Structure 1
Amino acid sequence: MSARSSQLSRRGFLGGSLLFVAGAAVGCSTTPGGSGDAGGAGTTLNVWSHAYGEAGTQQALTRYAAQFTKANPDIAVKVTWVPGDYTAKLNASLLADGAPDVFEIGDFSQALARRGQIAPLDDVYGSAKADFGQGDLDYVTVDGKIYGIKMIDDVMMLYYRKSVLAKAGITPPTTFDALASAAKALTSKSGKGLFLGNDGIGDSPILAVWSNGGELVADGKVAYASPKAVEAVTALKRLADDQSLLLGFTTDWWDPSAFTQNVVPIQWCGLWAMPAVKTALGDDFGVLPWPAFGSAGKPVVRVGGWTSCVNAKGKHVEAAKKFVKWLWVEQSDLQKDWSESYGFHVPPRRPVAATADKLSQGTAKETVELAATSGRSNPNTWDTEVSTPFAAAAKKIVSGQGDPAQLLADAAAQAQTALDKQRS
């Protein structure tokens, strides 16, 4: 359920809506934002979800909505399942009539709060605020107010085949140099050693910056043009030069197929894929953080996920808050089901995470521990206008186009303009 995958075919279900009135489901418009019959309920909430790719997710969300409506018969809930480029469709809807009352977002952006598009939810948390980790709270906090509730924490890390590395005499890498050397050594005429994404980059530029002690944004300033950032991003070119990266696979990094089908022995992917990996490979796999860049660096895993927000300009703000509180604060059993039954995800509420039995053993437990010790999340200012110049510069650097320091400096200047606008 990775946030970075919201536009990709992993989400490729058919779009549509179901309206729940007094516990019954009624078919609705297949166009996001379309209307449906509220069946006599005083309020109808339109709740948007991107089209998750894990089997059973759509059915689970509609089941949760039905349970809420059964408990609150005066509030009908229309679940709208949005395929394709969810982020673009959501942003467009928020500028027009018929925007959803409740919606999820991947990488939270404080710009939504500053523009008055999402409502503060401090009252929704209540005493349960203490259940959430400070990192998740800080992520959705803008000017001292909380504007979302984290639904799941998605951990992203490296998977590796134990038997393949052992046969090649390779120790699981703990530095970037070791990772590059392993990827090269594991590359042969029949296959590549490492899969980061079909573009050959994936999350690696962000990870490179963090692993060398750098930051993307710090104290309101774009920071990815620092010497440490330049050094680490430039080093990624080695992977391309060694021709050790798998490119253009049938699915992208968020899907474990390249790993489970023995196409590559090391792949960047997410905790959500672990049940499928274990089914395919048994215990012949391990997990690693993105390794430290040099002796002074530090390993990192990326922590993303999805956040539930309320449309501040909607007609039913209080009812929307009631739904969000019911599902993501009060219903521990449903939160556990959402985190364990459709791939693996870390429940943001610590009391729920403590009961997540499937995450308390084996490699899943190792991954959760990695998130606790080495987890990093994108800053909540990291929206498209801020992040796109960095991604474009990194792609040029990896392909050997231009001076890395100048490319990142130019990208940072462009992003700073966007950041200043976002924060004004």
Structure 2
Amino acid sequence: MSTRRPELSRRGFLTGSLLVAAGSVLSTACSTDPVGGAAGSGAKTTLNVWYHAYGETGTQQAVLRYATAFTKANPDIAVKVTWVPGDYSAKVNATLLTDAAPDVFEIGDFSEGLVHRGQIAALDDVYGNAKSDFNANAIDSVTVDGKLYGVKMIDDVMMLYYRKSVLAKAGIAPPKTFDELVAAAKALSTKKNKGLFVGNDGLGDSAVLSVFSNGGDLVTREGKVAFGSPQALEALKGLKRLHDDKSLLLGFTTDWWDPAALTQNVVPMQWCGLWAMPGIKDALGDDFGILPWPAFKAGGTPVVRVGGWTSVVNAKGKNVAAAKKFVQWLWVQQSDLQKDFAESYGFHVPPRKSVAATAEKLSEGAAKEAVVLADKHGKHNPGTWDTAVSNAFNAAAMKIVEGQGDPAALMADAVKKAQSEIDKQQGR
């Protein structure tokens, strides 16, 4: 369920829509275009609810089951579940400009641009007394100008996996500092294998993680680009050491989101997500451990990235009140369904603290440790971190780690480009 895994890896039993009313499935559509309302069902309102095409088996059946339970409890509201394959983000953004826009839809990393364009509704009233039960990342990531514009559905935690036996055989302790990570990656590299995999491009999340790990920031809450700071530049220049040492696996058959490089003994350390843990455990048993991205230096902080998916309401839709009712019912009130969605289809952390605390699969071992790491060291990308902004940063970071040009000049140019894009987002 990571926001960055390619859509080609996803599958589902239906590529279209199902209309649910009064607790049962009424009809089928063969495209994602809206169909007629729940004629004859007794429903006064029909909600169109969009999901991206999750690859985990059973997810689509689950969201249909949730919709059925909702319509049974609210027979005046029908729900059309639309399963969207392909480039989900592009389809959502395009459809929001038309009358065919969904009433409720999910998004990956939260986008403040949707708020500034008036496309999603504030949901403070949806949370009620449950707000304090959502973890800090889940609240902070959807807050714009003091208001809440989404309800987090699942947290995807990303961290560093390592092979216990391989490190132990080499006499290497699990790295707790960036210097130790660099040294371990170099020592574990051989003529056939590399010591660390962060992504096929050699960058992945590592540039963002490095900035955070040195006490830097990407963009401030006020929308000012911050990755041009001395802390950020220092960390990115330090990241170049992994490239100079030729310790990174490049161009593998799958990217960082898939654990194959680790489980197939191609690398002993890999950045990956919690969603991969069941597969890693099946392949390696208990011969793995997890770590945050280490602090860059004294005074820095370890980092794990927290992504996931968030449910939002179309502010320009005709059924805002009913849409809010659906989001509240499913993602605030139904703790059993929230736990089911996180545990049964893939492997994720429920954003509600009380729900996460009762999730059996997260109650022991490395999974429990991942929940602790996310709570202690979790960082989410800023809501302004759209494709244009992140591309400007990553392009400069890539040149820095590859030794192409003056780092300060490269980052200054990236800051200028990114700030221009953020100013457009915020209508400045």
So what's the TM-score if we normalise by structure 1?
Answer: 0.95
1:230 maps to 233
Give the paired residue count.
423
Q: Distance in 2 between matches of 1:247 and 1:52?
A: 27
Alignment RMSD = 1.7
1:96 maps to 98
Q: Distance in 1 between matches of 2:243 and 2:385?
A: 26
2:4 maps to 4
User: 1:250: how far off?
Assistant: 2.4
Q: For residues 203-214 of structure 1, what are the structure 2 equivalents within 5 Å?
A: 203-214=205-216
| Partner-residue secondary structure (3-state), 1:158 | strand
1:199 maps to 201
The answer to whether 1:72 aligns with 2:37 is no
| 1:250 alignment partner, one of 229, 240, 253 | 253
2:182 maps to 180
Q: Distance in 2 between matches of 1:421 and 1:329?
A: 33
| Partner-residue secondary structure (3-state), 2:237 | helix
User: 1:37: how far off?
Assistant: 5.7
2:316 maps to 313
User: 1:140: how far off?
Assistant: 1.1
1:22 maps to 22
1:423 maps to 426
Residue identity matched to 2:162: Y
Contact 1:180 1:239 (8 Å CA) reproduced: yes
| Partner-residue secondary structure (3-state), 1:407 | helix
The answer to whether 1:163 aligns with 2:165 is yes
Q: Structure 1 residues 295, 35: closer, same or farther in 2, change over 3 A?
A: same
Q: Which moved more, 1:46-55 or 1:156-165?
A: 46-55
User: 1:189: how far off?
Assistant: 2.6
User: 1:98: how far off?
Assistant: 0.2
Contact 2:227 2:233 (8 Å CA) reproduced: yes
Contact 2:214 2:231 (8 Å CA) reproduced: yes
Per-residue deviation, residues 383-407 of structure 1 (Å, max 9, x unmatched): 2232221011112222222111111
Q: Distance in 1 between matches of 2:37 and 2:112?
A: 34
| Same amino acid, percent of matched pairs | 70
1:412 maps to 415
User: 1:39: how far off?
Assistant: 4.2
| Partner-residue secondary structure (3-state), 2:271 | strand
Q: Provide structure 2 residue ranges, at least 5 long, that are not aligned to the other structure.
A: none
| Partner-residue secondary structure (3-state), 2:158 | strand
| Partner-residue secondary structure (3-state), 1:221 | coil
Contact 1:212 1:296 (8 Å CA) reproduced: yes
Q: Which moved more, 1:12-21 or 1:260-269?
A: 12-21
User: 1:38: how far off?
Assistant: 2.3
Q: Structure 1 residues 26, 267: closer, same or farther in 2, change over 3 A?
A: farther
Per-residue deviation, residues 43-72 of structure 1 (Å, max 9, x unmatched): 221111111222221221122112212222
Q: Distance in 2 between matches of 1:53 and 1:250?
A: 19
Q: Distance in 1 between matches of 2:129 and 2:299?
A: 41
Q: Structure 1 residues 30, 291: closer, same or farther in 2, change over 3 A?
A: farther
User: 1:338: how far off?
Assistant: 1.0
| Partner-residue secondary structure (3-state), 1:348 | coil
Residue identity matched to 2:209: L
| Partner-residue secondary structure (3-state), 1:28 | strand
Contact 1:21 1:39 (8 Å CA) reproduced: no
Q: Distance in 2 between matches of 1:265 and 1:379?
A: 31
Q: Which moved more, 1:138-147 or 1:95-104?
A: 138-147
| 1:221 alignment partner, one of 220, 224, 230 | 224
User: 1:27: how far off?
Assistant: 4.9
